[in-house]
């Protein structure tokens, strides 16, 4: 039990201790951890001897940085030791109570209300790769775009399919996104296919889980699937925004481009890999007729996925709110270790801070789909938001994702909100610079 008051429904129990980057009116961005409705400023905590009880931790300068990259690259044993030590420091009447609980001066300086801080991207992202491991989503989209018989390509069950996204437009929760312009084929039945240049009419969210890479592998050297977890710093929730009508016109032959490069939103608190170990679960079962994966993707761990409940909420500009989907990370066909192994099988070198997205996570019913493309059957039916309806996201809507692992009642391990308001398109010929 922590001496910090933690609401029963908080995603940020003593069991969690996620890391992020905060700033305040008088201090620049620096690392912190979230505990209930408070944050522990790690720069201030460190400068006041907060880690004096962890003699093995010598690299305290990592908490003087404006990103978590330096801390991430220290590796899982250090992450584990620091997280467990902070848990002990935050325990009521614990063996380290003199460091913070009984130190009123430090507590007032380092333990801040979450209401007075601003969050920032937790790591500097060099590269961003988005996978397509949500089998139900892939099948549903294939049915909409092609047919049930040809919904999934022959390669789908054998490789974690992915594409390289745009790291520069990955932003933190709360950052508004403008509706993008793009080329749209407004009359697909026309004999001569000529697109129009218009704001997207089919703006859609994609419910995803994502991992940050902690350390690099050398160029030319593969990461073994059974060692890949050691390369994961932690996890966030992610909204991979998509302009579906732009995507339909441009994705053949080379896949997504401008339909997805205008904004990707992540949660601000990185839940460390060790915090989610108690919630590991099998990935989706493979159909018996597709054969097994190749040897380099075979895992010794039968529980390499996670059991995390997910939900999607839409709020209209009028303030009407509906939760439109409940899903779970168990609906992924491939694990992050498999994604990492496949990503590096050519010798591709990952870097600290690289972001890997899971692909859209959809359950097995309409109420568990991870995108409006699926919920509205390709835009043919409406979804209700309070007393209003829509087929895709409208200007003024705010889309919020939540994810939480509930486990055995010892405290929630969650990610908080990933919220994104949608602004109108900037008229062509103007700029927001």
Q: Which domains does the chain have, with CATH numbers?
A: 19-120 (2.30.30.230), 128-423 (3.90.850.10)
Structure tokens of 337?
A: 């270790």
241, 271, 329, 381 from 205: Cα distances, Å: 5, 22, 16, 17
Please give the pLDDT value at position 186: 94
Measured torsion, CA atoms of residues 55, 56, 60, 62, in degrees rounded to the nearest 10: -170
Structure tokens of 151?
A: 């919904």
183 annotated ligand-binding residue: no
For residue 281, the surrounding DSSP H or E stretch is strand 280-281
Under a CB-based contact definition with an 8 Å cutoff, are residues 350 and 231 in contact? yes
146 annotated ligand-binding residue: yes
Q: What is the DSSP letter of 2?
A: B
Under a CB-based contact definition with an 8 Å cutoff, are residues 336 and 211 in contact? yes
Q: What is the DSSP letter of 277?
A: G
Please give the pLDDT value at position 408: 73
Neighbour tally for 290: CB within 10 Å: 12
For residue 264, the surrounding DSSP H or E stretch is strand 264-266
Structure tokens of 147?
A: 């047919």
326 is catalytic: no
240 annotated ligand-binding residue: yes
For the chain, 433 residues long, give each residue's pLDDT as a single digit of tens. Answer: 899 999 999 999 999 999 999 999 999 999 999 999 999 999 999 999 999 999 999 999 999 999 999 999 999 999 999 999 999 999 998 899 999 999 999 999 999 999 999 999 999 999 999 999 999 999 999 999 888 998 999 999 999 999 999 999 999 999 999 999 999 999 988 999 999 999 999 999 999 999 999 999 999 999 999 999 999 999 999 999 999 999 999 998 988 899 999 999 999 999 999 999 999 999 999 999 999 999 999 999 999 999 999 999 999 999 999 999 999 999 999 999 999 999 999 999 999 999 999 999 999 999 999 999 999 999 999 999 999 999 999 999 999 999 999 977 789 999 999 999 999 999 987 655 5
Q: How far apart are alpha carbons 72 and 352 in whole angstroms?
A: 7
Under a CB-based contact definition with an 8 Å cutoff, are residues 84 and 8 in contact? no
Please give the pLDDT value at position 430: 63
Count of alpha carbons within 13 Å of 271, Cβ hemisphere only?
Answer: 29
Under a CB-based contact definition with an 8 Å cutoff, are residues 365 and 328 in contact? no
382 annotated ligand-binding residue: no
130 annotated ligand-binding residue: yes
264 annotated ligand-binding residue: yes
**Residues 38, 79, 137, 342: which is the catalytic one?**
137
Q: What is the largest CA-CA distance in the chain?
A: 77
CA angle 118, 122, 127 (to 5 degrees): 140
Which residues are within 8 A (CB) of 145 and not within 5 positions of it... i.e. 6 or more apart? 248, 378
3-state secondary structure of 224: coil
Under a CB-based contact definition with an 8 Å cutoff, are residues 241 and 187 in contact? no
Q: How far apart are alpha carbons 347 and 344 in whole angstroms?
A: 5
5, 44, 82, 109, 300 from 106: Cα distances, Å: 17, 8, 19, 5, 46
247 annotated ligand-binding residue: yes
Q: How far apart are alpha carbons 366 and 20 in whole angstroms?
A: 34
Neighbour tally for 278: CB within 10 Å: 14
Under a CB-based contact definition with an 8 Å cutoff, are residues 321 and 370 in contact? no
């Amino acid at each position: 039990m922590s001496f910090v008051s933690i609401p029963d429904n908080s995603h940020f129990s003593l069991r969690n201790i996620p890391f992020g980057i905060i700033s305040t009116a008088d201090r620049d961005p620096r690392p912190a951890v979230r505990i209930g409705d408070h944050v522990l400023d790690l720069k201030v905590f460190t400068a006041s001897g907060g880690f004096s009880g962890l003699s093995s931790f010598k690299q305290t300068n990592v908490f003087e940085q404006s990103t978590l990259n330096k801390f991430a690259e220290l590796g899982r044993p250090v992450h584990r030791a620091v997280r467990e030590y902070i848990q002990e420091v935050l325990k009521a009447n614990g063996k380290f109570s003199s460091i913070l609980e009984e130190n009123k001066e430090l507590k007032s300086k380092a333990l801040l209300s979450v209401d007075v801080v601003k969050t920032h991207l937790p790591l500097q992202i060099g590269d961003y790769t988005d996978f397509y491991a949500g089998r139900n989503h892939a099948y549903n989209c294939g049915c909409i775009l092609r047919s049930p018989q040809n919904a999934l390509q022959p390669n789908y069950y054998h490789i974690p399919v992915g594409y390289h996204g745009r790291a520069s437009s990955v932003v933190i929760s709360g950052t508004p996104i403008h509706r993008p312009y793009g080329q749209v084929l407004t009359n697909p039945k026309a004999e001569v296919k000529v697109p129009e240049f218009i704001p997207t009419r089919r703006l859609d969210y994609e419910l995803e889980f994502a991992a940050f890479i902690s350390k690099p592998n050398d160029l030319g050297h593969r990461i073994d699937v059974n060692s890949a977890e050691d390369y994961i710093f932690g996890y966030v929730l992610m909204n991979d925004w998509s302009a579906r009508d732009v995507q339909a016109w441009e994705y053949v032959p080379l896949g997504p481009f401008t339909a997805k490069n205008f904004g990707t939103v992540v949660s601000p608190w990185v839940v460390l890999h060790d915090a989610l170990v108690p919630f590991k679960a099998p990935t989706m079962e493979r159909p018996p007729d597709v054969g097994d994966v190749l040897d380099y993707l075979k895992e010794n761990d039968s529980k390499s996925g996670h059991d995390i409940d997910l939900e999607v909420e839409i709020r209209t500009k009028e303030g009407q709110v509906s939760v439109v989907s409940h899903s779970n990370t168990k609906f992924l066909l491939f694990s992050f270790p498999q994604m990492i192994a496949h990503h590096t099988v050519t010798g591709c070198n990952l870097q600290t801070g690289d972001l890997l997205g899971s692909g859209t996570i959809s359950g097995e019913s309409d109420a568990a789909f991870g995108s409006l493309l699926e919920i509205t059957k390709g835009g043919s039916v409406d979804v209700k938001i309070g007393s209003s309806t829509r087929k895709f996201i409208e200007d003024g809507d705010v889309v919020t994702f939540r994810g939480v692992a509930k486990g055995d009642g010892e405290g929630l391990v969650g990610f908080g909100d990933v919220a994104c308001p949608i602004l109108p398109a900037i008229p062509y010929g103007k700029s927001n610079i």
